[in-house]
Structure 1
Amino acid sequence: MNSAELDALSQPLSNPARVLYMLSLRPNANVQTGASGELVYKHIMQLLNGTEQHFTLGRQINALLKELVNVGLIEIPSDCDINRSLNNKRVILPLVVVKQASVERLHQNKSAIYIDWQPDDKLFAELAQLVGLIDKAFTPEETGDFVAYWLGRPDTQLSHFQWTQKFVSYLKQQRLAKVPRHKTQIGSQLTTPQSAVEIDDNARKLVEKYRSKQ
């Protein structure tokens, strides 16, 4: 476990979330890709419960995963939904594969975001590649929106690594939110549905009912 992971684990987190990362996700992570092993909720619950049964529902596991997402310890792949079951799915541990030299340098100091903040170019490229951000180009407006949001939250103190990581996650969410309404998203691909008028059985029966009364 590297210094970036330890730093992230020292942020406000519940102890069960720390146990989930350190004893379940981290030992089985692929050090080349950052991919975790398959999440098996049954095994995770057994690990977390120990001698007392506190975790019995999948949504409790998802709540812990959300904690880990918030501090940058894991990323949810674009074809998964954190609000649905991730049983038998995999998540990404970005801090596992980023080069340690970059990690240590960018984790040295924490501060609130500032007006002319920019992401670290090299780290941005590495993280964007890791989380599957296809469109890596960003505009001054996107950076400005990100900075403006966090300027209003001066109590949030993060390292430059963590700010860059948050910016990558922000861009990924923005890209997904801009899926055109006339297109359907399947995984990370977009398809244009064929134009058609579909009438379900209830609607058809209603039409036939009123037609017979005429």
Structure 2
Amino acid sequence: MTSAYPEHGILSEENTDGFGTKNNFDGPLWIIDPLDGTVNYAHRLPHFAISAAIAVDGMVWAGVVYAPDLGVTYVGIRGKGAFCNGKELQVPRSGSLTDSIIGTGFPHDKEKVHPALARVNLLTTHCRDIRRFAAPTIDICYVASGRLDAHTESLAPWDVAAAGLIAREAGAITGHVGVVPSGYPPDLYGEEIVCANPAIYEELLSLLRSRV
């Protein structure tokens, strides 16, 4: 790909050189996670995926999440909708936070576990239940397909670029508990991301901000 498109940048978990500097969002940028859910894959659990997105000047225009063991391919194209195995996705626009199933996760850095536990405590006392599949690209696509009502945790750009676009194109709302740093494209910012059914988004965001 680099020989065919030498002007395109690549951002992945294995290649983060210079990411976050002022100008490296300019132009075409591929955001790739070759294996989301590595531990699941190693233990022969089905929740793992390959994720790829293309952004131009920080705005994601297309993305795909492929989960081979689940037999699903999610696709999102800005302004053209979101699809799972060719079937158009539409997020349900009804429901309440108290009856919602919320996806979340835990950081690999054990020093950051305590804030995640506080988030889990908050969620479990205000919603119906939580789920943790340990593959956030799939979790966010589950919001797009209505299997989850929301997903929230702190993630990397390669976790949210494709899946976030897919969810938004299906009708979900994405945002952040905190403030997106100046000059950082919201489409690629994963810290404390919230992706939710529109019916519960504002209430969930207020709840999560109440612990800050």
TM, length-normalised to structure 1: 0.26
Higher helix share: 1
TM, length-normalised to structure 2: 0.26
Higher strand share: 2
